[in-house]
Structure 1
Amino acid sequence: MVSADTARTVVGIIGNIISFFLFISPAPTFVGIWKKGSVEQYSPAPYLATLANCMVWTLFGLPMVHPDSILVSTINGTGTAIEFAYITLFFIHSDKKNRLKVIAVVTLELIFFALLTLLVLTLAHTYSTRSMVVGMVCILFNVMMYASPLTVMKMVITTKSVEYMPFFLSFASFANAVTWTTFALIRFDPFIAAPNGFGALLGLAQLILYATYYKSTKQQIEARKAKEIDFPEVIVAANQPPNKTATAATENGGAYENHET
């Protein structure tokens, strides 16, 4: 029979793999941003929230804070590096107003993380105290990360379009939350179970929205492409000189019709 610790380790490794795919799932979005040279209507909120979340969970999983949770630190340390890369790309291709917002939020997050690390490691002298303090902060930031797409979900409902809510990000978020909830329940850890349970429900809600508005999104995109194709033709037609046959017909009281295409 497989022991609880072995099962927890296996689920933790699976969680690392799924979390990695969660972190890289926005890559196609950022490739598109890089090619277009613009962030368009994409929001930096999910990536800023994920950065803060990864940093505090990296601290939480360290042996001197929460023993036997190194798998939490490994994946969140990786996630921190990936989110920094995304935010850098977002910063480069944003306008001045968005750049100021991004740099202000990142600066605040770094200051907060540095202060939290310093205070916990110097003032909290037991594992339980360190786990409690950092764990409560982790719950807060993890809920913020999972709740960050709420603004995008509101836009989806308003516009009936999921164009700016990437499917793979929503799916990976759901799978990630379910896996880490399972990890926390094998050997009950409320600090991991609570926010990830919430994240699983929110991820499911995003997938339901995606299924609901997928068809209407395709219709909107096709209609927009049709307009983009028709618009240049209208301009060309407007700039063409009058057809000679049509002019002659007009001059002769409309006796002839222009049948050229």
Structure 2
Amino acid sequence: MTGNLAHLTLAFGLLGNVVSFMVFLAPIPTFYKVYKKKSTEGFQSVPYVVGLFSAMLWIYYALLKTNVMLLITINSVGCFIETLYICFFLFYAPKKARMESLKLIVLLIVIGFGLIVALTQFLASGVTRGVIVGWICLVFSLCVFVAPLGVVRQVIKTKSVEYMPILLSVALTLSAVMWFFYGLLLGDFNIAIPNVLGFIFGVLQMILYYMYKNKKPVADEKITTSEAKNSEMGQKIPEFKDQKIIDVVKLETLMHSDIPKDPSNVPSHTIEVKA
């Protein structure tokens, strides 16, 4: 029975790695657009910086454990990919956006992660250190999974799913399922619990997608009405430029290797920390 349980745990861990890897690659189309236009336009680096921080945090946690090697593999890949995204963003970002991104990197990666490692190394030891870092990962992951509420609100308000890619939602949901069972079978609730919330939000996003995919966006209706009125007055309305909205879902993917963080408007990425 123990052997079967170990094989099942390994299977869910490997599947979690595969799905999370696909989520990490989700932002590629976004960065291809940035490359073509030679500008980051309205995109932001937040999802990628948060994704990098999340991956580093889970690697540190995994190093304090003895049986979660699959967390190290996927988050190591996540660190590499997120770093590439950030470097790419900094290269094409205007000066103001570049400086803001560098400040966030220093605050979150250098100071934030540095303090966590230093304090846990000097003020805790043995099992206690792992417990503390585990709780930090748990709380951080829960906060990341709450992020999609912004996207959900946007969908309900505009009746448009333009900024909530269904394939990404499905991938994040599958990722949450895989990592939940991986954590559950290992008896590690720091990994399992956050993914319960990830699964719930993933299902909610898919339900909203099918509810509103054929609905006419509220914004479009308002613009149409406005155009009609101005047309009667013989006035010409300037074209509206599509507003780029950050897809918080991707942020979540980035932050969780297992979930995989990327928004279609934002520099895409699933934050996803393996949890």
Same fold (TM > 0.5): yes
Equivalent in the alignment of 2:56: 55
* C-alpha contact (below 8 Å) 1:49/1:144 kept by paired residues: no
* C-alpha contact (below 8 Å) 1:46/1:148 kept by paired residues: no
Instruction: Say which one has the larger Rg.
Output: 1
- The structure-2 alpha-carbon separation of the partners of 1:214 and 1:84, relative to structure 1 and needing over 3 Å to count, comes to farther
- The structure-2 alpha-carbon separation of the partners of 1:168 and 1:195, relative to structure 1 and needing over 3 Å to count, comes to same
Equivalent in the alignment of 1:205: 204
* C-alpha contact (below 8 Å) 2:65/2:130 kept by paired residues: yes
Whichever structure has more helix as a proportion of its residues is: 1
Equivalent in the alignment of 1:77: 76
The CA distance in 2 between the partners of 1:159 and 1:29, in whole Å, is: 23
* Superposition pairs of residues 110-259 of structure 1, within 5 angstroms: 110=109, 111-126=111-126, 128-216=127-215
Stretch deviating more after TM superposition (162-171 or 181-190) = 162-171
Paired positions, count: 221
* C-alpha contact (below 8 Å) 2:159/2:217 kept by paired residues: no
Establish whether residue 22 from structure 1 lines up as the match of residue 23 from structure 2. yes
Structure 2 counterpart of 1:13, one-letter code: L
Structure 1 counterpart of 2:35, one-letter code: W
Shift, 1:20, TM fit: 0.8
Structure 2 residues without counterparts, runs of 5 or longer: 228-235, 237-275
* C-alpha contact (below 8 Å) 2:183/2:189 kept by paired residues: yes
- The structure-2 alpha-carbon separation of the partners of 1:39 and 1:163, relative to structure 1 and needing over 3 Å to count, comes to farther
Higher normalized contact order (CA 8 Å, seq sep 6+, divided by chain length): 2
The CA distance in 1 between the partners of 2:23 and 2:144, in whole Å, is: 12
- The structure-2 alpha-carbon separation of the partners of 1:13 and 1:154, relative to structure 1 and needing over 3 Å to count, comes to same
* Moved >6 Å (runs of 4+): 217-221
Structure 1 residues 54-78: Cα deviation after superposition (integer angstroms, max 9, x where no partner)? 110011111xx11111111111111
- The structure-2 alpha-carbon separation of the partners of 1:207 and 1:43, relative to structure 1 and needing over 3 Å to count, comes to farther
TM value normalised by structure 1: 0.73
Establish whether residue 8 from structure 1 lines up as the match of residue 9 from structure 2. yes
Shift, 1:33, TM fit: 2.8
Structure 1 residues 66-105: Cα deviation after superposition (integer angstroms, max 9, x where no partner)? 1111111111111112112223333344444433332222
TM value normalised by structure 2: 0.70
Q: Give me the identity figure in percent.
A: 36
Structure 1 counterpart of 2:13, one-letter code: G
The CA distance in 2 between the partners of 1:121 and 1:108, in whole Å, is: 20
Equivalent in the alignment of 1:66: 65
Equivalent in the alignment of 1:37: 38
The CA distance in 1 between the partners of 2:66 and 2:195, in whole Å, is: 20
